[in-house]
Amino acid sequence: MNKVTLTEALADAGHYIYRLNERWGVRNVERAIAYHEGKNLRAYLLTGITQDDDGQQMRFLNYDWSHLYDGMPEWVFADFFMYRIANSCARMERGLDP
């Protein structure tokens, strides 16, 4: 498992989605997820990079834990995607685009 899209990571992210919904509301979370799915947000687990259609969004430094995601796939969402969704929700709450 090298590349994981946001859509694939959502399958194992129930607990994290629940927490986001509690904090930001279902409507904002769904809008943020739809926005990032439309931009093809994806994570490269072997290199620790998150990328979308606009280019690289994040990179872990001293990254060497790709082996952990085989046993804990729900961590992929928490480590690579959750911050982007929460940031988009915060922007929408202030009346900005995601």
H helical segments located in 4-80:
6-10, 14-24, 26-38, 74-76
Q: Alpha-carbon distance 55 to 76, whole Å?
A: 19
Does a structural domain hold residue 35? yes
Do residues 60 and 8 lie in contact, with contact meaning Cβ atoms separated by under 8 Å? no
Q: Alpha-carbon distance 43 to 10, whole Å?
A: 13
Tens digit of pLDDT at every position of the chain (98 positions) = 689 999 999 999 999 999 999 999 999 999 999 999 999 999 999 899 999 999 988 898 888 888 888 888 889 999 999 999 999 999 999 999 99
Number of domains in the chain: 1
Residue 66 amino acid letter: S
Does a structural domain hold residue 86? yes
Q: What is the pLDDT of residue 61?
A: 85
Does a structural domain hold residue 98? no
Does a structural domain hold residue 67? yes
Does a structural domain hold residue 14? yes
Q: What is the pLDDT of residue 88?
A: 96
Does a structural domain hold residue 58? yes
Our measurement of the distance from residue 64's CA atom to the centroid of its chain's CA atoms, rounded to an integer in Å, reads: 19
Kindly report whether the global pTM for this prediction surpasses the value 0.85: yes
